[in-house]
């Protein structure tokens, strides 16, 4: 059997070596904590500007679901009764061909359609416009109010030269319109002619009202 020399056997020195190393490591740690207690670096303080945020209160809107309006009441309609329907008689709509029908009345032509507006020879007042002006009676109301102007009278002259009626186309009021129409009605005219034949003519006649100063 082979035996190792105890002086060169490393296993016998293993426990001592481990204990010595452990003691040395503990001693180093104690020295380190004693002489170097604070191993952390300097603290860096970051300063930043504080932002102010305005918070607004927002009213919460609520959507109200309104109920639909009530329906309109129905209007009661009275239904016809059976008795009322029995009394109704329906007349016959058949046309009697043998029955004589009266002819429609003849169409009467209006007087304005028989009066010409443009003819070869217009009616002329006998004595000229001055004769009509001499028949004008100046209304006292217009004289006191100082009303002046020209009244345009449309005269309807027949084949004999007589004025059948008049219409005021432009007046000035204060009684002057009636006075002008009366003067034109009293005047006599030479009848208008178309192709040498006397015809009915409608024409406009100016009647002037001027106050004497």
Which strands form 163-170's sheet, in the order they lie side by side?
Answer: 163-170, 149-157, 201-209
Residue 194 belongs to a domain: yes
Residue 116 belongs to a domain: no
Helix (H) or strand (E) segment spanning residue 166:
strand 163-170
Which 8-state DSSP code applies to residue 126?
T
**154 forms bridges with which residues in the sheet?**
167, 204
Q: Say how far apart CA 180 and CA 204 lie, in whole Å.
A: 12
Read off the tokens for 83: 């008795």
| Residue 146, CA distances (Å) to 54, 170, 172 in order | 81, 18, 12
Residue 166 belongs to a domain: yes
Per residue of the chain (213 residues), give pLDDT as tens: 556 566 666 666 667 778 888 898 888 888 877 776 655 555 666 665 666 666 676 666 666 677 777 777 766 666 555 554 555 555 555 666 666 666 666 555 444 458 888 888 888 898 888 889 889 899 998 888 888 999 999 999 998 888 999 999 998 888 999 999 999 999 999 988 888 888 999 989 999 998 876
Indicate the pTM of the whole model: 0.46
Q: Say how far apart CA 53 and CA 181 lie, in whole Å.
A: 92
pLDDT value of residue 110: 47
Distance of CA 47 to the CA centre of its chain: 66
Question: Which position has the token pair 């004008």?
Answer: 136
Q: How many domains does the chain fold into?
A: 1
Residue 97 belongs to a domain: no
Distance of CA 145 to the CA centre of its chain: 45
Residue 143 belongs to a domain: yes
Residue 186 belongs to a domain: yes
CA atoms within 13 A on the CB side of 141: 8
pLDDT value of residue 69: 77
Question: Which position has the token pair 């001499």?
Answer: 134
pLDDT value of residue 112: 47
Residue 157 belongs to a domain: yes
Q: Say how far apart CA 71 and CA 77 lie, in whole Å.
A: 18
Note down the domain range covering 180: 125-209
User: 201 with 182: CB under 8 angstroms?
Assistant: no
Residue 196 belongs to a domain: yes
Helix (H, G, I), strand (E, B) or coil at 209: strand
Task: Please report, for the domain that includes residue 183, its CATH number.
Answer: 3.30.1150.10
């Amino acid at each position: 059997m082979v035996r190792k020399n105890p002086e060169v056997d490393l296993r016998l020195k293993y426990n001592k070596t481990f204990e010595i190393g452990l003691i040395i490591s503990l001693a180093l740690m104690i020295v380190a904590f004693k002489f170097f207690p604070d191993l952390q670096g300097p603290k860096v303080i970051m300063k930043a500007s504080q932002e102010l945020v305005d918070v607004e209160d927002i009213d919460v809107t609520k959507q109200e679901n309104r109920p639909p309006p009530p329906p309109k009441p129905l209007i009661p309609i009275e239904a016809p009764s059976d008795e009322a329907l029995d009394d109704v008689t329906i007349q016959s709509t058949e046309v009697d061909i043998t029955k004589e029908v009266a002819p429609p009345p003849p169409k009467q032509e209006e007087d304005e359609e028989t009066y010409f507006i443009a003819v070869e020879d217009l009616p002329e007042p006998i004595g000229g416009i001055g004769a009509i002006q001499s028949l004008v009676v100046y209304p006292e109301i217009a004289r006191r109010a100082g009303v002046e102007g020209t009244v345009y009278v449309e005269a309807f002259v027949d084949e004999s030269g007589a004025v059948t009626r008049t219409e005021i186309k432009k007046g000035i009021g204060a009684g002057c319109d009636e006075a002008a129409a009366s003067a034109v009605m009293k005047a006599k005219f030479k009848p208008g002619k178309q192709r040498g034949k006397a015809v009915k003519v409608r024409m406009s006649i100016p009647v002037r009202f001027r106050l004497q100063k």
